[in-house]
Structure 1
Amino acid sequence: MFLINGTEQRQLAASDRAIQFGDGCFTTARILAGQIQFAPAHIQRLRLACERLCIPFNDWDLLAQEMASLAQGKADGVVKVILSRGGGGRGYSAAGCDSPTRILSVSARPAHYARWQREGVTLALSDVCLGRNPMLAGIKHLNRLEQVLIRAGLEQTGADEALVLDSDGWITECCAANIFWRQGQEVFTPRLDYAGVDGIMRQYCMRQLASSGFRVVEVNARQQALAQAEEVVICNALMPVVPVRQWGELRWSARDLYQFLAPLCEQINQS
């Protein structure tokens, strides 16, 4: 099901800047027991992205109501929200683009996440690196060609997810997830100042770790850092957290971090 500006339809104007330039942002939220999990955080993510991209969207209460309506009555599922600058302007100019487009869709939650949680996943190092751009780093904008190419490469391997570096060789994220690794009580996650997506579940996990016996540290790290890890986990708003069992010749069986985070990430948390 798709809602475009509040109307159930699947047609979008060819002049919309989401199509013309990928000029917009999005978020993907989990439906849990008829509610949008972390709904305020998803709205805040979209607000931040619109501010960064100078998209004049202001109907936040209406958007939140539409998201909640799509979730109502569903035990589990996914709501995706796209905000486009809309139509107008000439060429790259956004002059006159004062009517942003909102696109909402609802779908089933991927069934394989339950198996991943039980069995853990394998990683493959991606040949595609993320470009470094501090103006776009962290937000979930519509320009996802890097992830499309990462996914295409991943599908040529037998792995479940990709370990992705930026163009300077720093560990950044996975194709569709953030990454943490643990050494003792210290938990590391990549800095995202220049590339990558600061995921809703990443933010939540960091808050939970900050008030626990673990110590979370954002770092610039090379891929060799994983060789020192006792445990690796990945996360996104839908998984929500999954253990990594293997990357190349490295194997991990410890589950301390995963067992701490997993039950917390299944709560219907509205913050």
Structure 2
Amino acid sequence: MWINGLPADTINASDRAIQFGDGCFTTAAITGGKIQLFEAHLQRLKQGCLCLKLAEPDWMQLESEMRQAARGQQQAVLKVILTAGSGGRGYSRQGCGPTTRIISVTAWPKHYQQLAVDGVQLSISPIPLARSPLFAGIKHLNRLEQVLIRRHLDEESADDTLVLDTEGQVVECCAANLFWREGQQIFTPDVEQAGVNGVMRRFIMAQLASAGDVCHIVRCGPERLLMADEIVICNALMPVLPVRQLQHVHYHDRSLFHRLLGVCEQLEAE
């Protein structure tokens, strides 16, 4: 782990990440010493800084630190956190130091490989996401909803869980976005009110669009997915996984999964 470019594993207790969850982050795949979708992850951090009005770090310096952390890693996970720094009084950022940069590299999650074969069993989480258009789409450090969603999931036999917002609309999974197929049409939930507009979600949608395919962004309840022909979930590490079951419904067709898997095999690392 590196903090502000130096090897370290502790952070000042006055850092606003600890005090208020004041910051943003991104998680990327490392393959062959390079970072997949590097520019997209960098753009996510820039978007987070803009939305949260964080003082921007030296982006060239951060890029260099990210690439250095990835170097020599055959397959691993890179996480980058930007916080509003240390200091200030109460909620005010006045008197805070510069933006804190935290970079870590961890082991690759091997269970995704088996889930790609077996398929994912989904439950429906009883923990809803609050609608918050101001923060929807970005990965800020306030993840208590996801922590509770994951805690409940850990008590179940499911592999992942479908997450709804406070209006009962489908948003995402615990740590993944999703697509589904009805006949030849492809759909994904609207994340303008809640949830995360993931890097892999955006990549897949761009690739579909470049191929002339329409991905419909919709607001709907979970009952619509129970009528779907196929469901696929995705994030920067999976990168896509087929869903085999949602509640009592089993899905056997994997045509969309194989298609999106082929799309993701075109991913370039840099």
Fold-level match, TM-score > 0.5? yes
Using the TM superposition, give the Cα deviation of residue 97 of structure 1 relative to its aligned residue in structure 2, in angstroms: 2.4
Provide structure 1 residue ranges, at least 5 long, that are not aligned to the other structure: none
Larger deviation, residues 51-60 vs 121-130: 51-60
Residues 156-171 of structure 1 mapped to structure 2, 5 A cutoff = 156-171=155-170
Residues 108-257 of structure 1 mapped to structure 2, 5 A cutoff = 108-212=107-211, 214-257=213-256
Larger deviation, residues 205-214 vs 172-181: 205-214
Using the TM superposition, give the Cα deviation of residue 211 of structure 1 relative to its aligned residue in structure 2, in angstroms: 2.6
CA contact (8 A) 1:56 1:98 kept: no
Structure 2 CA distance for aligned equivalents of residues 252 and 213 of structure 1 = 26
Using the TM superposition, give the Cα deviation of residue 72 of structure 1 relative to its aligned residue in structure 2, in angstroms: 1.3
Using the TM superposition, give the Cα deviation of residue 108 of structure 1 relative to its aligned residue in structure 2, in angstroms: 1.1
Structure 1 CA distance for aligned equivalents of residues 234 and 248 of structure 2 = 22
Structure 2 CA distance for aligned equivalents of residues 106 and 19 of structure 1 = 20
Using the TM superposition, give the Cα deviation of residue 212 of structure 1 relative to its aligned residue in structure 2, in angstroms: 3.0
Structure 2 CA distance for aligned equivalents of residues 82 and 227 of structure 1 = 37
Q: Which residue is equivalent to 1:86? A: 85
Structure 2 CA distance for aligned equivalents of residues 130 and 64 of structure 1 = 32
Q: What is the DSSP-based 3-state SS (H/G/I as helix, E as strand, rest coil) of the residue aligned with 2:238?
A: coil
CA contact (8 A) 1:35 1:268 kept: no
Residues 5-154 of structure 1 mapped to structure 2, 5 A cutoff = 5-154=4-153
Q: What whole-Å deviation, never above 9, does each CA across 1:204-234 have from its counterpart, x for those lacking one? A: 0111111336420110011111122111000
CA contact (8 A) 1:185 1:214 kept: no
Structure 1 CA distance for aligned equivalents of residues 72 and 94 of structure 2 = 41
Output the TM-score relative to the length of structure 1.
0.97
Output the TM-score relative to the length of structure 2.
0.97
Using the TM superposition, give the Cα deviation of residue 61 of structure 1 relative to its aligned residue in structure 2, in angstroms: 1.1
Using the TM superposition, give the Cα deviation of residue 266 of structure 1 relative to its aligned residue in structure 2, in angstroms: 3.2
Structure 2 CA distance for aligned equivalents of residues 264 and 215 of structure 1 = 15
Structure 2 CA distance for aligned equivalents of residues 124 and 25 of structure 1 = 28
Structure 2 CA distance for aligned equivalents of residues 14 and 98 of structure 1 = 13
Letter paired with 1:169: G
CA contact (8 A) 2:33 2:73 kept: yes
CA contact (8 A) 1:32 1:268 kept: no
CA contact (8 A) 1:28 1:78 kept: yes
Structure 2 CA distance for aligned equivalents of residues 213 and 29 of structure 1 = 27
Structure 2 CA distance for aligned equivalents of residues 35 and 10 of structure 1 = 23
Structure 2 CA distance for aligned equivalents of residues 169 and 149 of structure 1 = 17
CA contact (8 A) 2:179 2:187 kept: yes
CA contact (8 A) 2:3 2:101 kept: yes
Larger deviation, residues 123-132 vs 183-192: 183-192
Letter paired with 1:3: W
Using the TM superposition, give the Cα deviation of residue 268 of structure 1 relative to its aligned residue in structure 2, in angstroms: 3.9
Structure 1 CA distance for aligned equivalents of residues 213 and 181 of structure 2 = 9
CA contact (8 A) 2:77 2:107 kept: yes
Structure 2 CA distance for aligned equivalents of residues 123 and 187 of structure 1 = 19
Using the TM superposition, give the Cα deviation of residue 98 of structure 1 relative to its aligned residue in structure 2, in angstroms: 4.6
Larger deviation, residues 144-153 vs 222-231: 222-231
Q: What is the DSSP-based 3-state SS (H/G/I as helix, E as strand, rest coil) of the residue aligned with 1:217?
A: strand
CA contact (8 A) 2:57 2:99 kept: no
Among all aligned residue pairs of Structure 1 and Structure 2, give the percentage whose two residues are the same amino acid: 51
Using the TM superposition, give the Cα deviation of residue 178 of structure 1 relative to its aligned residue in structure 2, in angstroms: 0.3
Structure 2 CA distance for aligned equivalents of residues 270 and 111 of structure 1 = 19
Structure 2 CA distance for aligned equivalents of residues 11 and 30 of structure 1 = 24
The question of 1:258 aligning with 2:262 is answered no
